Structure 1
Amino acid sequence: MAVTKMLLLSMGVATAFLAAPHLPPATTQLRATSLSEAEVKKLLSGSEFAMDISSITAGSEKETYIGQGSGVNEGAGLGGLIPWLKKSVGKVLAWKNRPVYDKLWRVIEEDVLATCDERFGLVAAPTWFDNQTKPYEFSSEDGKCTGTVAAYRGGNIDWITTCKFFSSALGFGNMRIDGWLDRSTRAPHMAVHLCIVFNVLFIYINLVPRTNLVLDDDYNDYVYGDPKKSAGDRSLNDIQNECIDDKAFKPYFSKSHVVKAFMNAPTTLLYTVGYSNKNFAKVRQIAMDYVRVWLDMAQENEGVLVKNIDSRDVQTELLQTDVRIRQFCGRDPDTKNVANILGLDTTDKLVRTLWGDPNDPIWASR
């Protein structure tokens, strides 16, 4: 989508109680694993595991919805307006959308991140900007687009990042939280990306599978099809079907084959939703339902998600799958739109922070 629709979606001031500016460097991802460091290096030596930031290169494709709505891409949305009109419309949208942006950020920070902290006791981790364990603030050259990015870890959450920014010139805001688990479980990864463009919420909410669902019926059934107490005895499939039946939720269909390839979870939520208090409340509830289900699965010590977890085959699959999943935002076409606003250097460091810890051998060697 957006993971897609989101390198856009990012950046976030982290909670003060998580800021902990002088924590020691985070440890590596090599926790519960039967693979040696030498094996890890060999398994990730192929060109397909090299750092891929192809979407910010000249001539790469651009995604449509966010770029057009924010005026980044030419020829549609704000981008199609003449300069003086675009400036005027942008000011109105900035005035109108900033309060919504702040409300969305409270969902990311005070709901999702705080719930993860309560469950796992998160500690601050370094970003790729300054290797400091505190949120990093960034801005566009003209100062009209500002944001923050922060990273944490705790328990078997190997890496969790928050990221947000708001353009006062164009009047749109994006934010995200992404949670990557270590290899002590096959539980899915987590992504909650929220955006306000015009008077419309753009959402991407997903629990990203870490296996081939075509070959693994038990995983598919358990993660996406079985009812979960933390979601009110509903399955993720039930929640998605509720969105399908709600006329306020308009499915978003990416035109990018790169984005489509990443939308492989059967219960991916990728929608535009007209902003209202009712719709906002539903989006918030859905985000928390998905996150609570994710946290419960992350803590399971028996069953489908930890079966044969220490075997070399499972560890190899998780290692290689995780690296490719976490690298996706480098190929997300909307990353090009971010680069157009923030510049290549800032965008590169943002992408790498979303990927992983600069002190982790797995990511430092990419």
Structure 2
Amino acid sequence: MSETLQHVEQMVDQTPRADVTETFQEWRELLSGLRARIAERFELTRDPSTTDLESYGDPETGPSGSLAAYSGPEIDWLVHSWIGDPRTGFVNLHLTAWLGPQTRAPHLGAALLLWPEGWFYVDAVPRGDLVGDGDYFDRYYAENDAPWLAFKEQHPDFAWFTSRTGFIRASLSPTAHCHSFPATRPNLDTVAEVLTARVEQWLGWVDAAAPVPVEQQAELAARDLAVRRNIAERDPANVMGERMFGPELTQRLVRALWGGDRELPRPGR
């Protein structure tokens, strides 16, 4: 297996442009279906702070995007979004679900990128110290260890993506998928299979998770927010948003990713 060690803007700038509208539409349907699957399990309400981000930019003339954030009794912040210009070969799609503090089950993170080659990420975002809490590692990460190693051996088209930003590397769990790949039919099918399986696994973890004592929930909620904000604000790919829409709108989009302008209350007590 090879390795990709570039900034996102380098990947984009060094690759010939191509229309990726067909794959973009396929991936929009994939993430919309996964969001609907999550909505079957959780009560979700659209946060009013993202209503006017349902559509921004002009897809007829250039870059555009959409961002919707939701909250609910068990979900602190769920983001379903995309940004880019598929006609020129760049688009980034996200589906992330951050749980409330009633459980310590991991959060769900997923992203898809066309540049115009493919890239995908999916992970169970830890709610604590995987080394200091061996039981937590065993509960949520040990079962994915062997499949993760097997994936690297069975899919040589997928190159491990190593971020040039140490903070982003530190944010990945040991069983995260973070790969670039040629956007062929078999590889697109593989990505869909992996994402769907990880979402189903995550839903099972949530259903089986033990409750967090009320007196521990505030500390957990504070940690969750700090992790979410740091990942959103430190993402080196934010430079692509600034290229397309300038710093003001990009900063608002970043705030929407972590809930900086949220109006709905956070869950938990």
* 1:330 aligns to 2:253 (yes or no): no
The one-letter code matched in structure 2 to 1:321 is: R
Q: Which residue of 1 aligns with 2:39?
A: 117
The alpha carbon displacement at 1:159 in A equals: 1.4
Secondary structure of 2:208's match?
coil
User: Which residue identity is paired with 2:165?
Assistant: S
CA drift of 1:150 comes to 0.6
Look up the match of 1:64: 6
Q: Flag structure 1 segments of 5+ consecutive residues without an equivalent.
A: 1-62, 72-76, 79-88, 226-234
Query: Is 1:359 aligned with 2:263?
Result: yes
1:96-139 deviation digits (Å, cap 9, x = unpaired): x11011111111112x10110112243322235xxx3x752112
Taking the aligned partners of 1:156 and 1:219, their CA distance within structure 2 comes to: 20
Given the alignment, which residue of 237, 259, 274 partners 2:182?
274
> Does residue 224 of the first structure (1) align with residue 169 of the second (2)?
no
Greater relative contact order structure (CA < 8 Å, 6+ sep): 1
On the 8 A contact 1:141/1:342 being kept in 2, the answer is: no
Report the counterpart of residue 127 of structure 1 in structure 2: 49
Q: CA deviation at 1:360?
A: 4.8
Aligned to 1:104: 27
Q: Distance in 2 between matches of 1:206 and 1:278?
A: 21
Question: Is 1:315 aligned with 2:217?
Answer: yes
Q: Which runs of 4+ in 1 moved over 3 A?
A: 140-143
Q: Pick the structure with more strand per residue.
A: 2
1-structure distance, mates of 2:58, 2:144: 38
Whichever of the two has the greater Rg, that structure is 1
| Conserved? CA contact 1:135–1:150, under 8 Å | yes
**Number of residue pairs matched?**
259
Q: Distance in 1 between matches of 2:248 and 2:60?
A: 15
The one-letter amino acid paired with 1:248 is: D
Are 1:259 and 2:168 counterparts? yes
Helix, strand or coil for the counterpart of 1:266?
coil
Name the TM-score, length of structure 2 as normaliser.
Answer: 0.88
Structure 1 residues 334 and 206, CA, compared in 2 at 3 Å: closer, same or farther? same
Paired residues for 1:147-186 under 5 Å: 147-167=65-85, 170-186=88-104
Q: Which amino acid aligns with 2:251?
A: D
* Alpha-carbon distance change, 68 to 221 in structure 1, aligned in 2, over 3 angstroms: same
Residue 296 (structure 1) aligns with: 204
Is the CA contact (8 Å cut-off) linking 2:47 and 2:69 kept in structure 1?
yes
1:188–1:208 contact (8 Å) kept in structure 2: yes
User: Structure 1 residues 342, 143: CA separation in 2 closer, same or farther (over 3 Å shift)?
Assistant: farther
After TM superposition, the score normalised by the length of structure 1 is 0.66
Q: Deviations over 1:185-214 (max 9, x none)?
A: 00111111001123x210111110010111
Question: Which string of whole-angstrom CA distances, capped at 9 and with x for unpartnered residues, describes residues 317-364 of structure 1?
Answer: 4123202211111011111221122111111111111112622567xx
